[in-house]
Amino acid sequence: MTRLASDHTASPLIFEMGQEGRANRYVDPGAPLTDFLPREVLREDLPLPDNSELDVVRHFTRLSQRTFGIDVGFYPLGSCTMKYNPRVNDAMANLHGLRDLHPYTPDELSQGALQIMYELERTFCNLFGMAAFSLNPSAGAHAELAALLIAKAYFNDRGEGHRDKVIVPDTAHGTNPASAAMCGFKVISLKSDDRGRVSVDELKKVLGSDTAVCMMTNPNTLGLFEDHIHEITKAVHDVGGLMYYDGANANALMGNARPGDMGFDLMHLNTHKTFTIPHGGGGAGHGPVGVAAHLVDFLPTPYVSSRTKPNSNQAHSPSDRLEFFLDFNRPKSIGPMRLFWSNFAHAVRALAYIYANGAEGLTKVSQLAVLNANYIRVKVREFLDTPYDEICRHEFVASAQELKKNTGVRALDLAKALLDRGFMAPTMYFPLIVPECLMIEPTETESKETLDSFIDALREIVESAKSDPDSILSAPQHTVVGRLDETRAARQPDLRWYPVNE
Binding to another protein in span 138-157, by CB under 8 A: 138-142, 144-145, 148-149, 152-153
Cα–Cα dist 22/190, whole Å = 60
Binds another protein (CB under 8 A): choice among 134, 366, 386, 407: 366
Q: Of the ranges 171-179, 236-244, 290-298, 381-389, which one interacts with another protein (CB under 8 A)?
A: 171-179
Cα–Cα dist 404/328, whole Å = 57
Specify whether the CB–CB gap between 275 and 349 falls below 8 A. Answer: yes
Report in angstroms how near the CB of residue 402 gets to another protein at its nearest.
Answer: 21
Binding to another protein (CB under 8 A): which residues in 271-330? 272, 276, 278-286, 300
| Contact track, another protein, 333-352, x by CB under 8 A | -xxxxxxxxxxxxx-x---x
Report in angstroms how near the CB of residue 405 gets to another protein at its nearest.
Answer: 18
Report in angstroms how near the CB of residue 4 gets to another protein at its nearest.
Answer: 7
Does the footprint of another protein cover residue 440 (CB under 8 A)? no
Cα–Cα dist 322/324, whole Å = 7
Q: Residue 33 or residue 466: which is nearer to another protein going by CB?
A: 33
- Could you tell me which of 269, 203, 193 has the C-alpha nearest to residue 230? 203
Q: Does the CA dihedral 377-379-384-388 come out positive or negative? A: positive
Binding to another protein (CB under 8 A): which residues in 81-110? 82-86, 88, 90-106, 109-110
Instruction: Render 410-426 in DSSP notation, one character per residue.
Output: -HHHHHHHHHHTT-PPP
**Single-letter amino acid code for the residue at 316:** H
Does the footprint of another protein cover residue 331 (CB under 8 A)? no
Cα–Cα dist 242/244, whole Å = 6
Binds another protein (CB under 8 A): choice among 313, 317, 360, 405: 360
Cα–Cα dist 307/347, whole Å = 21
Binding to another protein (CB under 8 A): which residues in 49-78? 49-51, 53, 56-57, 59-72, 75, 77
Binding to another protein (CB under 8 A): which residues in 445-484? 445-448, 476, 479-484
- Return all residues near 445 (Cβ < 8 A) that are at least 6 apart: 83, 84
Binds another protein (CB under 8 A): choice among 33, 195, 389, 406: 33
Cα–Cα dist 240/379, whole Å = 45
**Single-letter amino acid code for the residue at 231:** E
- Return all residues near 24 (Cβ < 8 A) that are at least 6 apart: 52, 53
| Contact track, another protein, 244-263, x by CB under 8 A | --------xx-xxxx--xxx
Binds another protein (CB under 8 A): choice among 157, 193, 227, 382: 227
Report in angstroms how near the CB of residue 292 gets to another protein at its nearest.
Answer: 15
| Contact track, another protein, 186-215, x by CB under 8 A | -x----------------------------
Cα–Cα dist 226/145, whole Å = 23
Binding to another protein (CB under 8 A): which residues in 108-127? 109-113, 115-116, 119, 123, 126-127
**Single-letter amino acid code for the residue at 34:** T
Q: Which residues pair with 187 in a beta bridge?
A: 166
